[in-house]
């Protein structure tokens, strides 16, 4: 590889990382769908998909083939360019934010004079703000899809989604301020490191006294991803399917994938900010076993376990709670979550200021 | 690399701005404005102003423009008809724009020393965290203007609520 310049090496390694992470994320998206169908099935006392492959494990593949082969329909009255670009915006925005998520401990690999952290695509100083920014751009996908379909149910769904996402973005952003105050940084890596001292006890949700912030984040994140109990934008009983009523084939699949990729991103962020990210819940209680390979893999294992737990929680909530009414949703966001988030900020900064004395 | 970023996103910003003017449908114009804002955010970032870039994306393209699109969608505004334009705009507009451009570039060029310079993309390699510096200046040196601006915004919000509320 010596004939490559430093920049080319860096570019190649980055592209490699992006491809690997993208493939893993998309596979995870496909299997989250299966997980949801299975778990929801068991909650409702039935089997869920069980015919394709052992335990229905090949179901995502079958679904993918089905969606690829379906006929692509575009309504005559639709605004064609925006109708096509809307699912693309939704899916890209939901996939981009995974780029700033650190999956494991810092693990540098040196090639050709360039050392690259293999468990993180990009470690940015404002990683948290980047995630918030990309989430707020993702609203366009949903807003445009509803409008360009030229269908009243789609328009109503997308109007609901847009206003819901804008309202809950405030509570979401404010709930994270407490974490940022504690870590004194917006870099996700630094935030993770600030919680790694004593295992579970120094996680923000327990030792950091951020359980109120965590509660607000969880509520707001469910609303941001348009999931039950806040799935009003696609409330079947009122709006057929909401903003993606007119979409078929792969365009529908893109919205579907975007929803699940958003779920995974939210689970990753919750893990990183409140549950210590890739650090072990036991801290240094047990002596390190195995060689350097185990030491590199174990943090990823913990990270995946925590993300998986959040995804299960998502599905559990969907199987348990009924849908909110629209005015309840709005007053819950503005009159309860927002003041609570502000109180949390004041409380956290007071405690920090008293500590610093 | 940095130069390439500048050229790509500068061109994108200009193209978006032109598209904003030439599109006939309000939604297309609003979306071109989003493109302009995002490209500006990238340019800010390449100049080392990370926080400004993030705030630009979150506040302008993520919140304000979404509300614009929202309103356009609700009003169901159709395509606009093209008119010849007023004569006054032709006579005063182009010279006026040229004059403002000349004035601004003259000010920037003469005051170059006082304004200071920054290396294009110099902060991309490893950025200094300027968020803490920014906030410490905002909360010490510029505390009064900062708070006055906040109160101004609060007053504007209250005014909007009062105007929007129907008389009982």
Query: How far A126 CA lies from chain B's nearest CA (Å)?
Result: 7
Greater confidence (A217 vs A226) lies with A217
State whether B70 and A159 contact (CB < 8 Å): yes
- 82-101 in chain A: CB under 8 A from chain B: 82
How high is the pLDDT of residue B103? 92
State whether A133 and B127 contact (CB < 8 Å): no
State whether B132 and A184 contact (CB < 8 Å): yes
Residues of B within 8 A of A78 (CB-CB) are: none
- Is the predicted ipTM greater than 0.85, yes or no? no
Selected for mutation to probe chain A from B70, B124, B139, B161 (highest A CB count within 10 Å) is B70
What would the mean pLDDT of A176-204 be, rounded to a whole number? 80
pLDDT tens digits for A291-329? 777 777 788 888 888 899 989 998 888 888 888 888 888
State whether B70 and A162 contact (CB < 8 Å): yes
Q: What is the pTM of this model?
A: 0.83
Q: Which pLDDT band holds residue B151 (cuts at 50, 70, 90)? A: very high
Report whether pLDDT(B152) > 90: yes
pLDDT tens digits for B118-130? 655 555 555 456 7
Residues A265 and A205: beta-carbon distance below 8 Å: no
Give the burial string for A60-70 (b: 16+ CB within 10 Å, else e): beebeeebeee
State whether A125 and B31 contact (CB < 8 Å): no
Selected for mutation to probe chain A from B66, B74, B124 (highest A CB count within 10 Å) is B66
**DSSP H or E stretch at residue B26:** helix B26-46
Instruction: Nearest chain A residue to B45 by CA: give it.
Output: A126
Residues of B within 8 A of A137 (CB-CB) are: 38, 57, 61-62
Residue in B58, B74, B127 closest to A136 by CB: B58
Residues A173 and A136: beta-carbon distance below 8 Å: no
Residue in B27, B54, B129 closest to A129 by CB: B54
Selected for mutation to probe chain A from B62, B71, B79 (highest A CB count within 10 Å) is B62
How high is the pLDDT of residue A353? 86
pLDDT tens digits for B6-28? 888 889 989 988 888 888 788 88
A186 and B CB contact within 8 Å: yes
Residues A274 and A268: beta-carbon distance below 8 Å: no
Q: What is the DSSP letter of B92?
A: I
State whether B54 and A184 contact (CB < 8 Å): no
State whether A137 and B74 contact (CB < 8 Å): no
Instruction: Nearest chain B residue to A173 by CA: give it.
Output: B58
Report whether pLDDT(A7) > 60: yes
Residue in A133, A139, A163 closest to B57 by CB: A133
């Amino acid at each position: 590889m010596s004939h490559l310049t430093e920049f080319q090496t860096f570019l190649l390694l980055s592209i490699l990382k992006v491809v690997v992470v993208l493939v893993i994320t998309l596979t995870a998206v496909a299997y989250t769908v299966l997980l949801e169908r299975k778990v929801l099935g068991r909650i409702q006392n039935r089997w869920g998909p069980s015919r394709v492959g052992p335990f229905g494990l090949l179901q995502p593949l079958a679904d993918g083939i089905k969606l690829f082969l379906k006929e692509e329909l575009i309504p005559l009255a639709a605004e064609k360019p925006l109708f096509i670009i809307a699912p693309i915006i939704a899916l890209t925005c939901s996939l981009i934010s995974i780029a700033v998520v650190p999956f494991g401990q810092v693990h540098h690999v040196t090639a050709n004079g360039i050392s690259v952290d293999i468990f993180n695509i990009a470690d940015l100083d404002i990683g948290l703000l980047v995630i918030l920014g990309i989430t707020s751009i993702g609203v366009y996908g949903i807003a445009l899809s509803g409008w360009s379909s030229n269908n009243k149910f789609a328009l109503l769904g997308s109007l609901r989604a847009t206003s819901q996402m804008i309202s809950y973005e405030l509570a979401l952003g404010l709930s994270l301020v407490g974490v940022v105050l504690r870590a004194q940084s917006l870099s996700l890596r630094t935030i993770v490191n600030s919680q790694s001292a004593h295992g579970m006890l120094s996680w923000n949700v327990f030792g950091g006294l951020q359980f109120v912030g965590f509660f607000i984040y969880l509520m707001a994140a469910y609303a941001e991803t348009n999931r039950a109990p806040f799935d009003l934008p696609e409330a079947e009983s009122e709006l057929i399917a909401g903003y993606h009523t007119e979409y078929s084939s792969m365009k529908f699949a893109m919205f579907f994938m975007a929803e699940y990729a958003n779920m995974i991103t939210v689970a990753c962020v919750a893990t990183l900010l409140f549950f210590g990210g890739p650090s072990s819940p036991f801290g240094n209680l047990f002596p390190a076993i195995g060689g350097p390979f185990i030491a590199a893999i174990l943090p990823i294992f913990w990270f995946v376990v925590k993300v998986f737990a959040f995804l299960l929680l998502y599905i559990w909530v969907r199987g348990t709670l009924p849908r909110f009414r629209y005015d309840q949703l709005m007053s819950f966001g503005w009159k309860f979550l927002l003041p609570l988030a502000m109180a949390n900020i004041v409380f956290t900064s007071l405690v920090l200021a008293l500590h610093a004395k | 690399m940095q130069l390439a970023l500048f050229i790509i996103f500068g061109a994108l910003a200009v193209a978006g701005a032109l598209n904003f003017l030439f599109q006939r449908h309000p939604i297309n114009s609003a979306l071109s404005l989003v493109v302009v804002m995002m490209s500006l955010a990238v340019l800010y970032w390449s100049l080392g102003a990370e926080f400004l870039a993030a705030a630009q994306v979150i506040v302008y393209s993520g919140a304000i423009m979404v509300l614009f699109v929202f309103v356009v969608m609700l009003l169901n505004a159709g395509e606009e008809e093209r008119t010849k334009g007023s004569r006054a705009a032709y006579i005063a507009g182009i010279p006026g724009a040229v004059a403002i451009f000349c004035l601004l570039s003259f000010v920037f060029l003469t005051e170059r020393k006082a304004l200071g310079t920054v290396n294009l993309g110099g902060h991309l390699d490893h950025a200094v965290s300027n968020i803490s510096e920014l906030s410490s200046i905002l909360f010490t040196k510029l505390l009064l203007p900062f708070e006055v601006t906040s109160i101004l915004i609060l007053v504007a919000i209250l005014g909007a609520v009062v105007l929007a509320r129907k008389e009982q």
